[in-house]
Chains A and B, each alone.
Chain A
């Protein structure tokens, strides 16, 4: 157990390629869950509200990235 925890939290994970973008998904989901848990009075509405907020965050970030990429290509 101790060895497992040591390997899990001490040895860094190597991430490259699409994995870098993929790490945005759980972060956006957790931000949405905490925000919606605080904002929603009824906890039953939290799962759907946080899912839609996380999709909005990811979509917004991708849109910003796309705009920046197009701008960069046009200026290059």
Chain B
């Protein structure tokens, strides 16, 4: 059975990062850190959807009122995109019509912060997946026997 470093070294860092963006923890799963992947997936996803549950999908993941928080939230990948389009689909049909799903303060702010922090945590997870692949490659390269020069 190959060592953990060898498994990680055989993987591509950009693919690990892309998988981690697609689904939090999937990058770690792919490089063999399966238990770590499950914990990371559970923690980031629970934080994101807890934010959506508190603030409502209409007020939490929206580029309109939340400024740069949307950039942080989009680090959660397709889940954030799904929430964004779900929220858009609930917009009032006519302009000026009251929005029944608009969250009152402070629920709106709490929801935005939860979802934004979840995205930033997933950014940390993506960077960790990248670092683990590169560290594995360094360890394997250091273990390799020195190559003889040609005379």
Interface residues of A (CB under 8 A from B): 8-16, 20, 23, 26-27, 30-31, 33-35, 37-38, 43, 46
Alpha-carbon distance between A11 and B43 when the two chains are bound, in angstroms:
23
B110 to A43, Cβ gap below 8 A? no
28 A-B residue pairs with CB within 8 Å:
A9-B53, A9-B86, A10-B58, A10-B90, A10-B101, A11-B56, A12-B102, A12-B103, A12-B111, A13-B53, A13-B54, A13-B56, A15-B106, A23-B54, A23-B110, A27-B47, A27-B113, A30-B44, A30-B117, A30-B118, A31-B117, A31-B121, A33-B43, A34-B40, A34-B124, A35-B124, A38-B36, A43-B35
The answer, yes or no, to whether B16 is at the interface (CB within 8 Å) is: no
B56, B106, B121, B125: the one contacting A10 at CB < 8 Å is B56
**Nearest chain A CB to B147's CB is how many angstroms away?**
31
Interface residues of B (CB under 8 A from A): 35-36, 39-40, 43-44, 46-47, 49-50, 52-59, 86, 90, 101-104, 106-108, 110-111, 113-114, 117-118, 121, 124-125, 128
B44 to A34, Cβ gap below 8 A? yes
B56 to chain A: which residues have CB within 8 Å?
9-13
Interface centre among A12, A14, A23, A26 (most CB of B within 10 A): A12
- Besides A12-B101, A31-B121, 11 other CB < 8 A contacts? A10-B56, A12-B103, A13-B54, A14-B107, A27-B117, A30-B43, A30-B44, A30-B46, A30-B121, A35-B124, A37-B39
B36 to A34, Cβ gap below 8 A? no
A43 to B43, Cβ gap below 8 A? no
Interface centre among B43, B44, B59 (most CB of A within 10 A): B43
B54 to A12, Cβ gap below 8 A? yes
B54 to chain A: which residues have CB within 8 Å?
12-13, 15, 23
B39 to chain A: which residues have CB within 8 Å?
33, 37, 43, 46
Closest to A16 in B: B106
Closest to B114 in A: A27
Alpha-carbon distance between A26 and B55 when the two chains are bound, in angstroms:
15
From known contacts A9-B56, A20-B106, A31-B117, infer whether A38 and B128 are also in contact, taking CB-CB under 8 Å. Answer: yes
